[in-house]
Amino acid sequence: MLGNKRILLIIGGGIAAYKDLILIRRLRGRGAAVQAVLTKAAEQFVTPLAVASLTENKVYTDLFNLTDESEMGHIQLSRSADLLVVAPATADLMAKMANGQADDLASTTLLATDTPVLIAPAMNVRMWEHPATKRNLAALRSDGVIVVGPEQGDMACGEYGYGRMSEPEAIVAAIEAFFATEADRPLAGYKVLVTAGPTHEPIDPVRYIANRSSGQQGYAIAAASQRLGAETVLISGPTTLVPPPGVTVRRIETAQQMLDACEAELPCDVGIFAAAVADWRVDNASSQKIKKQNGALPGLQLVENPDILRTIAHLQNRRPRLVVGFAAETQDVITNARRKLETKGCDWIVANDVSPATGIMGGPNNAVHLVTAQGVEDWPDLPKGEVGLRLMQRVADALRTAA
Ligand code: C5P
């Protein structure tokens, strides 16, 4: 709930601005007071009247409005809020913020503020992927700006990719996480390590062996861990996902690199091993691209990769207090999961049936079974975000009980 919180919403000039009308309603529904600043371009997409009606507040658009400046001024406007939310944060607004430019009310307010800022970027995929935007994003992150999204999907411009503004619900969730109190952060003070995604094991410089994995569940777990207050490190294989805000991401490609990255993050309190690690790597990987010859590829020698989960779970001194593995199976899910609990030496196994017919692999939902020494819990089919939150709440309960 956001009772008594004051949000200054800065609306940038992009088509995603239409979502702000819902965002304002959701924020107000949770008890927040919302004031809004519209850029000139934003006024092309949503009207000040619509925004004023929903915020039930005056809407600010002009830096050189004498009445506003004498009554309140952009400096005070920027400081009268508990949080500044920029949505949509266009490429232009992000560039201005990153470079400290201030040539209109929105950018001046953002430069004059000492209040935390959260942005929800939205732009065409090419603009999002442009090195300039990447530089600006990195600069904003290092300035402490909280970043929500963008999401992948169809865009108003007809293209597909990253650049869609996060849905109002996701933005509200990030705002709530920002305002969360100690009671909402039962993992505060703990360090959680999460592995996610596939690993890529090179055959030659252009080819690799990998498992199917979108990384979504691992990323959702990392997001939940962060939301519940843990210092969260996500060791991620190659994925196209946007890292959750506030999570430290270490990107790796191979299983060996994933193991090294995990060991470098020890000690930690909890290890959650959601990655789909390739079981084998090519021992005789070629340093040059292998040319097609007539017929088959001459023998690739596969050697077993280190089992990261098992290695960490068997550490003598630096074993995390709670080690959670995953078992993605296509048959005998529970039997295999129980066996894995023992062979891997972990405390819990999150097991699921990933047969193609379930649609779990790469899909938005997951139906898991939590297998522990105490027994098996069957969880309902839930969005992966919910599974992540439920799992991390269970982790928090387990740590509290053990303390
Ligand atoms: O043995 P299997 O791959 O089915 O076990 C799955 C669990 O083990 C997952 O938690 C996965 O992240 C972990 N694992 C690992 N290193 C490997 C293989 C699997 O950490 N080399």
pLDDT at 245: 73
Q: Which residues contact 356 (CB under 8 A, 6 or more apart)?
A: none
Residues taking part in catalysis: 157
pLDDT at 71: 61
Residue type, 58: K
Question: Does 277 contact ligand 1 (Cβ within 6 A)?
Answer: yes
For a ligand 1 pocket test, name from 326, 331, 369, 371 the mutation site with the most ligand atoms within 8 angstroms of its C-beta: 326
Residue type, 156: A
Atom of ligand 1 nearest to the CA of 328: 4
Of the candidates 224, 217, 169, the residue with the CA atom closest to the CA atom of residue 365: 217
Q: How far is the centre of ligand 1, averaged over its atoms, from the C-alpha of 399 (Å)?
A: 23
Question: Does 162 contact ligand 1 (Cβ within 6 A)?
Answer: no
pLDDT at 70: 63
List residues bridging with 198 in a β-sheet.
276
Question: Does 278 contact ligand 1 (Cβ within 6 A)?
Answer: no
Q: How far is the centre of ligand 1, averaged over its atoms, from the C-alpha of 20 (Å)?
A: 42
Q: Residue 401: exposed, middle, or buried by beta-carbon count in 10 A (0-12, 13-18, 19+)?
A: exposed
pLDDT at 363: 84
Give the residue range(s) of CATH 3.40.50.1950 domains in the chain.
Answer: 6-179
Question: Does 307 contact ligand 1 (Cβ within 6 A)?
Answer: yes
User: Do β-strands 368-372 and 375-378 pair in parallel, antiparallel, or remain unpaired?
Assistant: antiparallel
Atom of ligand 1 nearest to the CA of 275: 12
Instruction: Give the three-class secondary structure for 33.
Output: strand
For a ligand 1 pocket test, name from 277, 315, 338 the mutation site with the most ligand atoms within 8 angstroms of its C-beta: 277
DSSP 3-state percent helix, strand, coil across the chain (nearest 5): 35, 25, 40
Of the candidates 336, 396, 337, the residue with the CA atom closest to the CA atom of residue 370: 337
The residue contributing the CA closest to ligand 1 atom 4 is 327
Q: How far is the centre of ligand 1, averaged over its atoms, from the C-alpha of 187 (Å)?
A: 25
Distance CA 16, CA 121 (A): 9
The length of the chain is 403
The residue contributing the CA closest to ligand 1 atom 2 is 327
Of the candidates 331, 142, 180, 308, the residue with the CA atom closest to the CA atom of residue 351: 331
Question: Does 83 contact ligand 1 (Cβ within 6 A)?
Answer: no
Structure tokens at 178: 């920002």
Structure tokens at 66: 């004498």
Q: What are the φ and ψ backbone dihedral angles of 367, each rounded to 5 degrees?
A: -120, 105
Provide CATH code, domain 6-179: 3.40.50.1950
Q: How far is the centre of ligand 1, averaged over its atoms, from the C-alpha of 307 (Å)?
A: 6
Pick the CATH number of 182-402 from 3.30.470.10, 3.90.79.10, 3.40.140.10, 3.40.50.10300: 3.40.50.10300
How many CB atoms are closer than 10 A to CB 15?
16
Q: Residue 98: which H helix or E strand, with range?
A: helix 91-99
Structure tokens at 367: 């139906």
Of the candidates 98, 112, 108, 110, the residue with the CA atom closest to the CA atom of residue 140: 98
- Whole-model pTM? 0.67
Question: Does 121 contact ligand 1 (Cβ within 6 A)?
Answer: no
Q: How far is the centre of ligand 1, averaged over its atoms, from the C-alpha of 327 (Å)?
A: 7
Please give the torsion angle defined by the CA atoms of residues 240, 244, 248 and 251, in that order, rounded to the nearest 10 degrees: -10
Distance CA 164, CA 158 (A): 12
351 and 337 Cβ atoms separated by less than 8 Å: yes
Q: What angle do CA 24, 220, 222 make, to 5 degrees?
A: 110
Q: How far is the centre of ligand 1, averaged over its atoms, from the C-alpha of 334 (Å)?
A: 16
Could you report the average pLDDT of every consecutive run of 10 residues in the chain (403 residues)?
93 97 97 97 97 96 72 76 97 98 94 95 95 97 95 82 91 90 89 98 96 95 93 97 86 98 97 97 94 81 97 97 95 94 97 85 89 94 94 96 83
Question: Does 326 contact ligand 1 (Cβ within 6 A)?
Answer: yes
Q: How far is the centre of ligand 1, averaged over its atoms, from the C-alpha of 300 (Å)?
A: 22
* Alpha carbon separation from 244 to 141, 225, 317, 385 (Å, rounded): 12, 10, 30, 11
Of the candidates 334, 330, 335, 350, the residue with the CA atom closest to the CA atom of residue 390: 350
Residue type, 202: P
Instruction: Give the three-class secondary structure for 102.
Output: coil
Instruction: Give the three-class secondary structure for 84.
Output: strand
Question: Does 305 contact ligand 1 (Cβ within 6 A)?
Answer: yes
pLDDT at 67: 65
pLDDT at 391: 98
Give the residue range(s) of CATH 3.40.50.10300 domains in the chain.
Answer: 182-402
H-state helical runs in 276-347: 308-313, 333-344
Atom of ligand 1 nearest to the CA of 309: 20
Report which DSSP code applies to 42: G
